[in-house]
Amino acid sequence: MNRPSDKVCIVTFGCQMNKLDSDLLRGELARAGFSCAERPEEADVVLYNTCSVRDHAEHRVLSHLGAYRRRAESEPDFVLGVIGCMAQRMADQLLARFPFVDVVCGTRAFLRVPAYIRRAQQGGGPIVDVGEESPGGRFEFDRAARMRQEDHSAYVSVMRGCDNFCAYCIVPFVRGRESSRPPQEVVREVRRLADDGVREVTLLGQNVNSYGGGLEPPVGLADLLERVNGVDGIERVRFVTSHPRDMTDGILRAMAGLEKVCEHLHVPAQSGSDVVLGRMRRDYTAAQYRDMVARARELVPGLMLAGDFIVGFPGETERDFRLTLRLLREVRYQQSFIFKYSPRPGTAAARWEDDVPDRIKRERNQALLVAQEEVDTERRAGMVGRRVEVLVDGLSKADERHLSGRTRGNDIVVFDPPQGARPENLTGRLVTVELTDSTPLTLFGRLSGRG
Ligand code: 5AD
Ligand code: SF4
């Protein structure tokens, strides 16, 4: 029996995959008669979609959950759920610490969440599901059109899980082994999104370059890019995240040759020291990484690179760290995500002493951030004077008199709307902007044409 007034709020932590899962789940919930609330205080059901990749992300969720004790005890109809990676990893611990949690549902059982909420509303004790996939597989969500965060830009999951087992990483444990979604299904979803006004799709996978493993007939990321590139209405195609080892010439050539595929790669190095890379089980050396970057830049003119680095991995010396700093400066990333190492239970590295003191981790983290800012400020300054293609995202958050959009290289550009036009009308459109100024975070420009 549906109670249409039931309002659900999903609070999402973690990666883009999690954000997408939350969007998909909102669609499922709407189908089951629930409506969405923006804020937990307005909701009858609050779900935390959680992340386990670093202990910081887990601590934040734990402190949020603690704050629900009183509400859970005083409102018998209130339902609190924990879903996603933490639920998968530590269901028992969660229930022991927060006995008022009603639903604990892992990464593979999302389709069953609406039914679990109903059961919890009828007083059926804590419900735990950290088991197998939902019947029909984990890609069988039929995305409800209006459940996206953005109207003109959407993520599309093309594979899940990871088979790499990097020594620090929890993903294979919480998300399971790699599995790819058949290309025709991906294309069908992209078509539907295009019909619904989406102009930019980002294909998501933890290790997207190895897309296609296990599929029959054999297919790879380059083929998939070609098929998605062919969907009418789509203007831009991106994909994340890439493993440096799996960056084939075929993928790079596809990027270069397919007009909608943007010249942007997120290809984490994690460290610039061979000793550390070896211990991380990354399967490449710093020299191989540099070669890959050189090859990519040669094959894909104008390529922008984003990367991740971990500082303070067990045994990381000052010398190792210097090598990382040098790599970051040399590659001249457009964007770097920098993380302090935290041991994750069950991973190989968790067996090693977490021997770099937090003070040193913080210093190294800061030094990489400063270096990245220097690199980036210089790079942006060099772009002033160029004309670039911009996909308009909407009004600038910092100042609503301006519009904000992104270049193919994923740089944010702020510019004035055309005189007399309603600026909202440009959202989702491609325009040409001449870059006039750059600050550390933003490029400024002047509209010089409609796409
Ligand atoms: N500690 C710190 N950072 C981590 N990452 C993954 N595992 C850990 C960990 N245990 C970082 C990596 C990865 C990004 C998503 O998170 O840099 O690329
Ligand atoms: Fe995403 Fe990994 Fe965090 Fe899970 S643990 S939410 S897969 S980053």
| Average pLDDT per consecutive 10 residues, the chain (451 residues; last block may be shorter) | 73 93 89 93 96 96 96 93 96 96 91 93 90 53 54 92 94 92 94 94 95 94 98 98 96 98 98 98 98 98 97 98 98 97 97 98 98 95 96 90 94 90 85 93 86 53
Residue 184 phi, psi (nearest 5): -65, -30
Selected from 3.90.1310.10, 3.30.420.10, 3.80.30.20, 3.40.640.10, the CATH number assigned to the domain covering 153-381 reads 3.80.30.20
Distance 172 CA to ligand 1 centre (A): 13
Pocket of ligand 1 (CB under 6 A): 53-54, 168-169, 268, 270, 308, 310, 339, 341-342, 344
Confidence at residue 398, expressed as pLDDT on a 0 to 100 scale: 86
The whole-angstrom separation of Cα 135 and Cα 118 is 19
Q: Is 447 in the pocket of ligand 2 (CB under 6 A)?
A: no
The whole-angstrom separation of Cα 425 and Cα 427 is 6
Distance 206 CA to ligand 1 centre (A): 12
Q: Which long-range contacts (CB under 8 A, 24 or more apart) does 224-228 make?
A: 224/158, 224/183, 224/186, 225/251, 225/254, 225/255, 225/258, 225/261, 226/254, 226/258, 227/183, 227/186, 227/187, 228/186, 228/187, 228/190, 228/201, 228/203, 228/260
The whole-angstrom separation of Cα 311 and Cα 442 is 27
Distance 63 CA to ligand 2 centre (A): 19
Count of alpha carbons within 13 angstroms of residue 423, beta-carbon side: 18
Q: Is 53 in the pocket of ligand 2 (CB under 6 A)?
A: yes
Q: Is 240 in the pocket of ligand 2 (CB under 6 A)?
A: no
Q: Where are the domains of the chain?
A: 4-129, 153-381, 387-450
Closest ligand (CA of 243): 1
The atom number, within ligand 2, closest to the CA of 170 reads: 5
Q: The pTM is what?
A: 0.93
CB 240 within 8 A of CB 276: no
Distance 36 CA to ligand 2 centre (A): 24
Question: Which residue has the CA at smallest separation from atom 3 of ligand 2?
Answer: 51
Closest ligand (CA of 205): 2
CATH architecture of the domain 387-450 equals Beta Barrel (2.40)
> CATH top-level class for 4-129?
alpha beta
φ/ψ bin of 267: left (φ > 0), alpha (ψ from -120 to 50), beta (otherwise): beta
The atom number, within ligand 1, closest to the CA of 308 reads: 17
SS3 184: helix
Q: Is 390 in the pocket of ligand 2 (CB under 6 A)?
A: no
Closest ligand (CA of 84): 2
CB 79 within 8 A of CB 44: yes
Distance 168 CA to ligand 1 centre (A): 7
- Preceding peptide of 217 cis, ω within 30°: yes
Residue 435 phi, psi (nearest 5): -80, 130
Do the two domains 4-129 and 387-450 of this chain adopt the same fold?
A: no
Residue 409 phi, psi (nearest 5): -80, 5
CB 220 within 8 A of CB 199: no
Residue with tokens 């002033």: 384
Distance 18 CA to ligand 2 centre (A): 7
- Annotate 309-329 with b (16+ C-beta within 10 A) or e (fewer): bbbbbbebeeebbebbbebbe
Give the dihedral sign, CA 275/281/287/293. Answer: negative
Confidence at residue 109, expressed as pLDDT on a 0 to 100 scale: 83
Q: Is 79 in the pocket of ligand 2 (CB under 6 A)?
A: no
Distance 326 CA to ligand 2 centre (A): 28
Question: Which residue has the CA at smallest separation from atom 1 of ligand 2?
Answer: 15
Distance 343 CA to ligand 1 centre (A): 10
Tell me how far CA of residue 288 lies from CA of 148, 209, 274, 328, in angstroms: 39, 17, 10, 15
Distance 337 CA to ligand 1 centre (A): 9
Confidence at residue 135, expressed as pLDDT on a 0 to 100 scale: 43
Confidence at residue 432, expressed as pLDDT on a 0 to 100 scale: 96
Write the DSSP symbol of residue 385: T
For the chain, the C-alpha Rg in angstroms (whole number) is 23
